Amino acid sequence: MENIKNKVIIITGASSGIGAAAAKKLASLGAKAVLSARREEKLKELTQDLGDNAMYVVADVSKRADLDNLIAKTIEKFGQVDVLWNNAGIMPISFLEEGRVEEWDATIDINIKGVLYGINAVLPHMLKRKYGHIITTASTGALQTVPGASVYCGTKYAVKAIMDSLRKEVVKDIRVTTIYPGRTDSELFETIQSEKIKEAFKDNFDNTPALEGEAIADAVIYAIGQPATVNVNDIVVRPLGEG
Ligand code: NDP
């Protein structure tokens, strides 16, 4: 794809699930893929398979300095950042009455602050170039709430608001895309620790249809692959059977 080839594309949360699937697809289309997450072994393994046009940078998105380092390392190696995809996220859902405050804090730190830190780290570079594309993975949980997922949905509603506002701030020069996936096969559900949630949603977790990460990757690749003057704002992708 002409508009993907040689683009320098950073993906956070690239050690598994949607991010890993996207990194593979983008590298196969000739992009320079920068894979980022916390688990170095996973990143190393994935990057090795992708050849010279890929690199990895270990970063915890809840740490502001890690995002600065991610952008700096990318520019050092590839000279620029064309796309930042804020994809990292966790979903340790629970009922509010359980008061799992540490999980609430981590969800807010990773899903909201991580997105803000990424945007802020890359914006000076993109604004200077008057060119760039910022993508963030929200969720259909940013469009409707689910009992037990109040904090997770809250973070994704916040992501929607942040991305909608960002688009208005940088609309002249920088493309801004929010992707809203429905249920997708990944390690995300392993972040759930609440036994009450596991029990309450047992049937849903086992029986609800799910997408493959590739389906979300393809939707984002569509947005990246458009001509520079085409700004794909929002994409909602659900598995058939999910309402
Ligand atoms: P995975 O759990 O497979 O992927 C999550 C990724 O985020 C991993 O690479 C993980 O890597 C990374 N991550 C988690 N915490 C941090 C952190 N503090 N710093 C950096 N990276 C971190 O799940 P998905 O692929 O499904 O999730 C990707 C995104 O899609 C998330 O934002 C999720 O909310 C969203 N989403 C997923 C849906 C689904 O049904 N799966 C539906 C809707 C949205 P590591 O542990 O190595 O850091």
Ligand 1 atom 43 nearest Cα:
139
pLDDT the model gives residue 138: 98
Token digits for 124? 């000076």
Q: What share of the chain is helix, strand, coil (3-state, %, to 5)?
A: 50, 15, 35
Q: Any idea which residues carry the catalytic annotation?
A: 152
- Ligand 1 pocket test, pick from 87, 177, 179 with the greatest ligand atom count within 8 Å of Cβ, gives 87
Token digits for 33? 């893929």
Mean pLDDT of 145-167: 97
Mean pLDDT of 74-85: 98
Q: What spacing in Å lies between the alpha carbon of 4 and ligand 1's midpoint?
A: 23
CA 14 to ligand 1: nearest atom: 9
Round the average pLDDT of the chain to a whole number and report it. Answer: 96
Report how far Cα 216 is from the mean position of its chain's Cα atoms: 10
For 212-230, write each residue's pLDDT tens digit: 999 999 999 999 999 999 9
For 91-105, write each residue's pLDDT tens digit: 999 999 999 999 999
Confirm if 10 and 126 have CB atoms less than 8 A apart: no
Burial class (CB in 10 A: 0-12, 13-18, 19+), 231: middle
Ligand 1 atom 8 nearest Cα:
13
How does residue 206 score in pLDDT terms, banded at 50, 70 and 90? confident
Backbone angles phi, psi at 164, to 5 degrees: -60, -40
Token digits for 108? 């807010």
Complex confidence, ipTM: 0.99
Mean pLDDT of 111-120: 98
Residue 44 to residue 39: CA distance in whole angstroms: 9
CA 18 to ligand 1: nearest atom: 25
For 171-194, write each residue's pLDDT tens digit: 999 999 999 999 999 999 999 999
**150-153 long-range Cβ contacts below 8 angstroms, 24+ apart:** 150/96, 151/93, 151/94, 151/96, 151/103, 151/104, 151/107, 151/108, 152/91, 152/92, 152/93, 152/107, 152/111
For 53-69, write each residue's pLDDT tens digit: 999 999 999 999 999 99
